[in-house]
Amino acid sequence: MRKKFFDILSNVFLIACIMSTIYMFFIYMRVTSDDMVVALQNEVDYPIYTGSNVFEYWKSTLTDEQKVLYEEIKESYLQFKEQFGTKVKKINDEDFDKVFDAVVLDHPEIFWIDSYSTIITLNNYINTSKIIQLRYSYTKEEAKEVKARIEPKYNEIIEEAKKRSTDYDKIKYVHDKLIEISQYHEYTPDQVNSYQSIVSIFDIGDTVCAGYAYGFKFIMDNLGIKAIASSDVSHEEDQSRNHIWNMVNLDGRWYNIDVTWDQNNGNGIIYNYFLKDNDEFYKDHIMQEGIPQT
């Protein structure tokens, strides 16, 4: 009786292995040329933004293989693809998160990014024969409507900033203007995703640190001034403590700016965190690995 039981169990295990192999084969075969992502030939073919003229600092910190994945993720979101098959042969979950975060930090204009899903195999490696599924905060049509609403507001800031004669004056104007047009919104945990893009500051004027930081970088990109978004997202148990700010390059040197903390709770503009070096700024901020030296 016991031998018969183990024979049955062995057969079940064998069938399960065969079915699993067949399943993984079909998953692999699903990755076709249609799932591979490449940049579009003509800029006018992009639904909203092209991803060009953006200072990609965090991309520069990646390995060559990670940069391939970076471009795939960026292009997929710019083109509103539901999924893509990566050319990268092997990458673990932690590295995938790093690349995804780099795209988000470098490209605030892609305000419709939400998240992604993958299959994890042995040793915590992404099954890169499987297509990566992408999630969106807005549909393509919704995103077009949002852009139509916010474009006049950010264009006005860009054009006014261009009238300033020096980069210092442009940076200060944008810093002050973002504070002027908005107010910090105390959100509940279930509302957090509604405020994590440029939409919150350029559309409704209620925002959080992400709106200030991404709005600042977005304007700097359009002015041709190098800027990055830098963050402390180490507070997994209490995401309301996570924070994001900026660094900007002025006359060949890097400086830190925290527009959020300079908005002084709606009581005017202060400059406690305006163009500060690392030694001074990181007395009460947490330094993200890989940021420029000041």
Contacts of 3 (CB under 8 A, 6+ apart): none
Sign of CA dihedral 133, 55, 167, 250: positive
Please write the tens of the pLDDT for every residue from 146-171: 999 999 999 999 999 999 999 999 99
In this predicted structure, the answer to whether residue 29 has a pLDDT above a threshold of 70 is no
pLDDT bin (cut points 50, 70, 90) of residue 279 is very high
In contact, 216 and 173? CB cutoff 8 Å: no
Q: Take residue 157 and report the two structure tokens written for it.
A: 């800031």
> Which is more confidently placed, 149 or 26?
149
pLDDT (mean) for 243-256: 96
Q: Where in the chain is the domain with CATH 3.10.620?
A: 143-281
CA distances from 180 to 163, 256, 265 (A): 18, 20, 12
Q: How many residues does this entry show for the chain?
A: 294
The pLDDT of residue 217 = 98
The pLDDT of residue 214 = 97
Strand partners, 184: 207
Please write the tens of the pLDDT for every residue from 198-225: 999 999 888 888 999 999 999 999 999 9
Provide the mean pLDDT of the chain: 85
Instruction: Report the candidate in 188, 192, 172, 194 with the shortest Cα–Cα distance to residue 259.
Output: 172
The pLDDT of residue 233 = 55
Pairing of strands 183-184, 206-207: parallel
In contact, 62 and 97? CB cutoff 8 Å: no
The pLDDT of residue 206 = 82
The tokens 């092997």 sit on which residue? 90
CATH 3.30.70 describes domain 143-281? no
Please write the tens of the pLDDT for every residue from 55-68: 999 999 999 999 99
Q: Take residue 159 and report the two structure tokens written for it.
A: 């054009």
Q: Take residue 93 and report the two structure tokens written for it.
A: 């979950």
